[in-house]
Amino acid sequence: MSISVLRRSAWLAVPLSVGLSLVAVCAPAAAAPDVYEVLYQGEVAGQMKVEHRPARAGQRVDVQFSYRDNGRGPDYKETVDLDANGDLLAYRIEGTSTYGAPTRERYLLRGRKASWQSMVDRGDVEVDGPVGYLPVESSPWISGLLALQATRQRDGELSLLPGGSLRVRKIQTLPATEAAPALGMFEMTGLDLQPSYVWLTEEPKPRFFAFVAPGYAAILPQGQRALIEAMESAQLEAEDAWSEELARTLPHHLREPIVIRNARVFDSEKALLTAPMDVYVFRGRIAEIKLAGSQAREPGSEIDAQGRTLIPGLFDMHAHEDPRATALQLAGGVTTARDMGNDNLMLDTLMRRIDSGERAGARIVPAGFIEGRSEFSARGGFVVDSLEEAKKAADWYAQRGYRQLKLYNSFNPEWVAPLAAYAHDQGLRISGHIPAFMRAEEAVRAGYDELTHINQVLLNFLVQPGDDTRTLQRFYRIMENAHALDLNSVPVQDFVGLLKQRGISVDSTLAVFEDMYQRQGQMHPSYAAVADHFPPAMQRSLRKSGFDVTDKNFARYKASFDKMGEFVAMMFHAGIPLVAGTDYIQGFTLHRELELYVQYGIPAAEALRIATYNGAKFTGTLDRLGSIAPGKSADLVLVDGDPTVDINVLRKPMLTMKEGVVFLPSEIYPRFGIAAFNGQPLIREFEPEAGEAKSPVSPSALHHRHH
């Protein structure tokens, strides 16, 4: 819900290396504000309380941090010992993380020996010079300690334990007002897949003032909300500059026509590979497809596939796009993303910028988010208090070209049927979570066209009277009981029959639930195959399970996840249309989603069909996307291997083309601190006058000459 990599997990309390990072800095007790508000779209969701007191070596700081959003959130208590310079001597955290897992961690520096023990690892090392310690998860305050230490180092760079480094630089200043001192905005890099920003006071001893996620959330001192707008504006300017630089340097505009030579083409409608073909691209569309070698070279550009596989651009059917991270979709071969809930203004701006080429990213097909108001409400889209307000929200989305609505946990079950009828009259599909105190079968009979998340589907058989699925019950009820569900039972078979009869599609997001059985210290199963390419801090954070998985319940939770996978495969074989979505790290999670489909019994070629043809079908774009055919948009991905035999080759695309523009994953990944997985194909340009081949040139050179 990430990089944003924002997924369904915590926003503020996730490790600094995954998701949005907050920063606070140490200050004397008399100077530092001690109470901060945690705000989600302007509403108070929690607070952070910081208390300073003298200690033998310097000072001790006690931090309490807690918030709730969408029925979940952390509760942390931290004790921090600092020396006279404000550097960390000892750290301790205890509490509960966002999804109910216990959190315990210790760090101690004695002389030159540093030692630590967390839920995921332990270690000790001799240190020589300044060093910071990055907890697996922490309050915002401890993140700020790292920022302060980094500003005192040469070039603003601080080495970190257990690994990696933090770089901090000042970007902008807001002048002092009657209500607040001058504020500096600092950029932090090296911990996450893109920069994050923090606001510090410009005083002799700087202190944390605010963190802002524009259009979404903020943490700042009580009584200072009036400054959010100015901070958002300044931060968006810096974020835009970073994203604009990617949009300037990542696309390669080759001379046309472009021919991709000697590629085996995936026929997504029939789920099979063709013989080697030459695919011609002109003005962003597929112009012609011929047998390889059947036509002489023409002026333009040539991409030598060398017998590799060419597939249609992939669809991520459950994304929450982030302006700074959407280029990662292209690196993973995703050219179209269905956004399933976001800030409406931010999303509209992002879509416009992607469509105009001002941002590098997958095209976005939006779903309109509608939530009911309650103490558990998720923020984003529209939060409504009545059926009439829900209908007005549907009107708003329909008038802006949306073709699907997503309902959420707190939506009133009694409003589903009348809203569905109203929406259907406007050509809108209904999808989403199953509202609390309602079952999936009831939602389908009330008018749902698509079910979202496999846990929401299986709760149909496992939810108990009185269960409030706005809370963590929507996860733990599955974890504790799904393993015993008989998929051959009459209720299950009748439900599957209902889905088939009504043509209900299912967006299972299976991969996003793999941490339900992840042991503390084990690499997150969804990313084990690629984690060694991620930054060190992110690798460590992916070893932390958000759920309370123990030796006693591991086998049961793993069996429950397996039952979810078996149910997805059973739906496929029963003829239920599936769409492939992620809800987590762009690109990487889709690869794992498809791998899981194959693991549980869906043929690899059919899994690939789901991620291409089905994606286009259920976004209403099949007339121009989802398959490789003359006249369709040139959304193409070149992979090294045969994904109809080994679905895992999707993890290493060599080239992504979106509407005829070439993107190279080997260039995109390093910009996010990720080690590249593959090289790039041979690309040649030809002089249009003579048709003579020039010497091969690098794509970077092509870009600068022809952008």
Does CATH place domain 313-624 in 3.80.30.20? no
DSSP secondary structure of 519-542? PTTSPPGGGTTTGGGS-HHHHHHT
- Cα–Cα nearest to 76, from 101, 93, 90: 93
Q: Is 84 left (phi over 0), alpha (psi -120 to 50) or beta?
A: alpha
Supply the mean pLDDT for the chain. 90
| Alpha carbons 268 and 362: distance in angstroms, whole number | 19
Mean pLDDT over 571-597 rounds to 97
Residue 30: the pLDDT is 43
Please give the Cα distance from 554 to 573 (Å, whole number): 29
DSSP letter (8 states) at residue 375: T
Instruction: For 605-651, give the DSSP string.
Output: HHHHHIIIIIHHHTTT-TTTSSS--TTSB--EEEESS-TTT-GGGGG
Question: What span, in angstroms and rounded, lies between the C-alpha atoms of 78 and 65?
Answer: 8
Joined together, the tokens standing for residue 249 give 């340097």
pLDDT at 148 over 90: no
- Indicate if 313-624 has the same CATH topology as 258-311+644-706: no
How far from 232 is each of 41, 83, 227, 360, 675, CA to CA, in Å?
A: 12, 34, 9, 22, 31
Tell me the CB-side half-sphere exposure of residue 8, using CA atoms within 13 A. Answer: 28
Report whether 567 contacts 575 (CB < 8 A).
Answer: no
Does 270 have pLDDT greater than 90? yes
Question: For a pLDDT cut of 90, what percent of the chain falls above it?
Answer: 77
Is the per-residue pLDDT at 381 higher than 80?
A: yes
pLDDT in tens, 520-575: 999 999 999 999 999 988 999 999 998 999 999 999 999 999 999 999 999 999 99
* 612-657 pLDDT, tens digit each: 999 999 999 999 999 999 999 999 999 999 999 999 999 999 999 9
Distance CA 293, CA 289 (A): 11
pLDDT for 171 equals: 93
Please tell me which residue, 478 or 195, carries the higher pLDDT value: 478
Three-class secondary structure of residue 185 per DSSP: strand
pLDDT tens track for 285-314: 999 999 998 766 667 999 999 999 999 999
Question: pLDDT confidence of 6, banded at 50, 70, 90?
Answer: very low
Query: pTM for the whole thing?
Result: 0.90
pLDDT: which is higher, 164 or 453: 453
> Quick one: tokens of 174?
């807001």
Residue 4 pLDDT: 33
The pLDDT of 671-700, averaged and rounded, is 74
- Give the tens place of pLDDT for each residue, 475-507: 999 999 999 999 999 999 999 999 999 999 999
Residue that wins the pLDDT comparison between 580 and 690: 580
3-state secondary structure of 130: coil
Dump pLDDT digits (tens) for 213-264.
Answer: 887 889 999 999 999 999 999 999 999 999 999 999 999 999 999 999 999 9
DSSP state at residue 434: P
Q: Is 559 or 27 the better-scoring residue by pLDDT?
A: 559
Query: Mean of the pLDDT values across residues 203-208?
Result: 85
The sign one gets for the Cα dihedral 432, 435, 439, 442 is negative
Residue spans per domain, the chain: 35-249, 258-311+644-706, 313-624
**Residue labelled with tokens 């310079």:** 85
**Segments in 84-179 forming alpha helices (H):** 140-151
The helix/strand/coil state of 303 is strand
Question: From 2.30.40, 2.60.40, 2.60.120, 1.20.140, which CATH number describes the 258-311+644-706 domain?
Answer: 2.30.40
Highest mean pLDDT among 53-67, 123-137, 489-503, 679-693: 489-503
Query: What pLDDT, on a 0 to 100 scale, did the predictor assign at position 86?
Result: 87
Mean pLDDT of 78-103: 92
